[in-house]
Amino acid sequence: MHQSIGQNNSAKDIGIWPEEVLLETILLSALNLFLSCTALIGNVLILTTIWKASSLHTAANFLLVNLAVSDLAVGLVGHPLFVIALLVRLYHPLNAVSLLLWTIFNTVISFLCGVSFFTVTAIGVDRLLALQLHLRYDAIVTPFRVVWIIFLVWVVSGVLSSVRLYSDLTYNALSPIVFTLLVGNSAVYLKVYLIVRRHLKQIIHREGPAHNDSNFSVQRFKRSALNTFLVYILMLCCYLPYSLVLEIFFTRINISLVVRHVTTTIVLLNSSLNPLLYYWRVREIRTAMRQYFCPRL
């Protein structure tokens, strides 16, 4: 009986979906394929630039490389899996293959989003240490220690994404942890902002607004603080709608597929926006990229 149902649905299941769902699937599939290309190209350029420019081989940039690697994986695996799952759902909405695809996709995205989230947290902590430790920063934050942190980020993200496979109860148990980390992340970036603001006031008060060195320091502090905030704010804007939808969904409130799929696409969009943010805000990366890829400009 199961086999005959599968045969009957193989070519006709697409007819059970309203026209709006078909249009949504086509538009989201096309958009995600485009975003897959932009995420791949953008993050490959960032990784190649950092690899070629020896001046960018710093402990802090190791974290940036890790974020670019996770974003690259989203473009390479996340977007294509999402498109395949959307298309298979049209023909076999309750088929075992379709359910398996969604399970794999949700697990992979949870894993990669966990890596990105923890990496952005580590970037904030790194900036906080740089502001608080000053001359001791290079002695304490070494490349070896940063590599170990990156290794732990991938391991912890893998464990958390695997735990979610067992039941919805495990997701509900992890939810308070996620929001706790979100609050902690916000506290770190707020602390960075307050320290930078205090430093700016001290520099201006001590040297005066007309001093060249002071102006240079002020601009450097402003740029560093803003860059750090923009990475976090961008991640927050992309992840928060999806997190809220999931919270509502797991409270058994009905959420339309369109809303869930759109918020999922916004999460994946973060992987394409990050390279643009690096190029726009990080002068060293922008200069090196132009030198290697556009030497005549």
Residue 93 pLDDT grade (very low, low, confident, very high; cuts 50, 70, 90): low
Which tokens hold the place of 9?
């649905």
Q: What pLDDT is attached to residue 214? A: 47
Which tokens hold the place of 175?
């939810």
Report the mean per-residue pLDDT for the chain.
Answer: 79
Which H or E run includes 286?
helix 283-293
Residue 120's contacts (CB-CB under 8 Å, 6 or more residues apart) are: 67, 185, 231, 232, 235
Residue 208's contacts (CB-CB under 8 Å, 6 or more residues apart) are: 214
Q: What pLDDT is attached to residue 28? A: 93
CA distance 92 to 1: 16
What number of CA atoms fall less than 13 Å from residue 86's CA on the CB side?
26
- Which carries the bigger pLDDT value, residue 5 or residue 152? 152
219-234: average pLDDT: 72
Q: What pLDDT is attached to residue 115? A: 93
> With pLDDT > 90 as the criterion, what percentage of the chain qualifies?
28
72-80: average pLDDT: 95
106 burial via Cβ count (<10 Å: 0-12, 13-18, 19+): middle
Q: What pLDDT is attached to residue 8? A: 39
Q: Is 254 helix (H, G, I), strand (E, B) or coil?
A: coil
pLDDT at residue 56 greater than cutoff 80:
yes
Residue 245's contacts (CB-CB under 8 Å, 6 or more residues apart) are: 255, 259, 260, 263
107 burial via Cβ count (<10 Å: 0-12, 13-18, 19+): middle
pLDDT at residue 41 greater than cutoff 70:
yes
CA distance 176 to 181: 9
Which tokens hold the place of 15?
């007819």
238 and 267 Cβ atoms separated by less than 8 Å: yes
Q: What pLDDT is attached to residue 171? A: 55
Radius of gyration of the chain (CA): 22
> With pLDDT > 70 as the criterion, what percentage of the chain qualifies?
76
In one letter, which amino acid is 22?
L
- Domain count of the fold of the chain: 1
83 and 32 Cβ atoms separated by less than 8 Å: yes
CA dihedral 112, 113, 114, 115 (to 10 degrees): 50
Q: What pLDDT is attached to residue 12? A: 42
Give the closest residue to 281 by CA, choosing from 218, 228, 239: 228
The sign of the CA dihedral 3, 166, 238, 176 is positive
Residue 166 pLDDT grade (very low, low, confident, very high; cuts 50, 70, 90): low
Which H or E run includes 120?
helix 96-133
Q: Express each pLDDT in 242-293 by its tens digit.
A: 878 877 776 777 778 888 899 999 999 999 999 999 888 888 888 888 888 8
Q: Is 282 helix (H, G, I), strand (E, B) or coil?
A: coil
Containing structural domain, residue 112? 2-293
Q: What pLDDT is attached to residue 191? A: 81
State the pTM of this model: 0.83
22-28: average pLDDT: 87
- Which carries the bigger pLDDT value, residue 210 or residue 219? 219
- Report the CATH number that the domain containing residue 169 is assigned in CATH: 1.20.1070.10
